């Protein structure tokens, strides 16, 4: 790795929460690169501009208006990166994510548009820009494996199959949304008792997507493609829960995957704080989350 090399990193959903702290830490950290250019993705321009000001308007951070749920927005950003940054990227951090509390088809469509389809489309469009040994970091959640744990064995096997394809995964997602529409989630093998079934399945799908992308793309440019959870952090998505870990710790979890030397991470795996996690795991009772967050904070 040359000490004079420039590294270009895109962070989606970076105007607040974990995404903002990722950018902040990237600006502050020392590295072997001469320069780290950070593209701060924000769906709302004003909020993105406010984030830049809050960061102190660093000269190496640039705002990109990006709504990952919009194909038009993704295409526009793709063209902008091609024109302004010579079509080069080293790291894509897919941090943008939403959670809609109600159990409805509209809520599912909104959630999957950002948490799954948006990530899939953005990665497909920006894949040609990634340089040798580039990295794709899909920001997931422990809720994904816990929600998958509560599904039938058949669904679990499909989501974790080593032969799963993009087309088959899309079909699994559509089957889940269709079951919501027909009110047949239980009969289809899903649990409506899950903490957040739509959000949880969107993150289970994202973990599965990470595996499929890894198998399809890793040999193109020796890419590293992993999913990472920031842990249960106090953000807008959980109304800044008082029993959650500080958001900057969550940013550290993602940055571990960004900065770890090649060979230290297993391609396609799921991580938190540098520790590999299973794709299916027994749910943690809500009253124990505080203890888990406390334990993570002490690491």
Question: What structural domains does the chain harbor?
Answer: 6-297 (3.40.50.720)
3-state secondary structure 237-278: HHCCCCCCECHHHHHHHHHHHHHCCCCCCCCCCEEECCEEEC
pLDDT on residue 2: 40
Residue ranges of alpha helices (H) inside 85-230 are: 105-112, 119-126, 143-149, 153-159, 166-181, 185-188, 197-221
Can you list the residues of the chain whose pLDDT is less than 50? 1-4, 291-299
Q: What pLDDT is recorded for position 194?
A: 72
pLDDT tens profile 218-244: 889 999 999 999 987 756 665 666 666
* Residue-level pLDDT at 237: 65
CA-to-CA distance for 229 and 39, rounded, in angstroms? 21
Q: What are phi and psi of 191, to 5 degrees?
A: -110, 120
What is the predicted pLDDT for the residue at 293? 47
The pLDDT of residue 298 is 43
Question: Quick one: pLDDT at residue 232?
Answer: 75
**What is the tens place of the pLDDT at every residue in 21-33?**
999 999 998 766 6
């Amino acid at each position: 790795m040359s000490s004079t090399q420039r590294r270009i990193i895109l962070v989606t959903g970076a105007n607040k929460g974990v995404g903002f702290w990722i950018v902040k830490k990237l600006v502050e950290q020392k590295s072997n690169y001469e320069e780290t250019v950070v593209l701060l993705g924000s769906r709302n321009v004003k909020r993105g501009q406010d984030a830049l000001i809050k960061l102190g308007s660093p000269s190496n951070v640039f705002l990109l208006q990006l709504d990952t749920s919009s194909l038009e927005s993704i295409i526009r950003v793709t063209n902008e990166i091609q024109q302004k940054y010579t079509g080069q990227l080293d790291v894509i951090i897919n941090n943008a994510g939403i959670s809609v509390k109600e159990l409805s088809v509209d809520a599912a469509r909104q959630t999957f548009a950002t948490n799954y389809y948006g990530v899939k489309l953005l990665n497909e469009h920006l894949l040609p820009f990634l340089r040798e040994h580039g990295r794709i970091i899909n920001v997931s959640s422990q809720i994904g494996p816990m929600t998958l744990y509560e599904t039938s064995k058949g669904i679990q096997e499909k989501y974790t199959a080593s032969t799963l394809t993009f087309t088959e995964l899309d079909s699994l997602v559509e089957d889940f949304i269709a079951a919501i529409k027909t009110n047949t989630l239980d009969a289809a093998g899903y649990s409506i008792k899950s903490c957040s079934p739509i959000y949880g399945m969107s993150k289970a799908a994202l973990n599965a997507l990470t595996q499929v992308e890894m198998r399809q793309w890793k040999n193109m440019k020796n890419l590293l493609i992993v999913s990472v959870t920031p842990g249960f952090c106090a953000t807008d998505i959980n109304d800044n829960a008082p029993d959650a870990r500080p958001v900057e710790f969550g940013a550290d979890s993602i940055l571990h995957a960004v900065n770890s030397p090649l060979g230290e991470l297993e391609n396609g795996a799921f991580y938190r704080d540098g520790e590999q996690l299973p794709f299916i795991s027994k749910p943690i009772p809500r009253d124990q989350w505080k203890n888990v967050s406390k334990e993570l904070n002490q690491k």
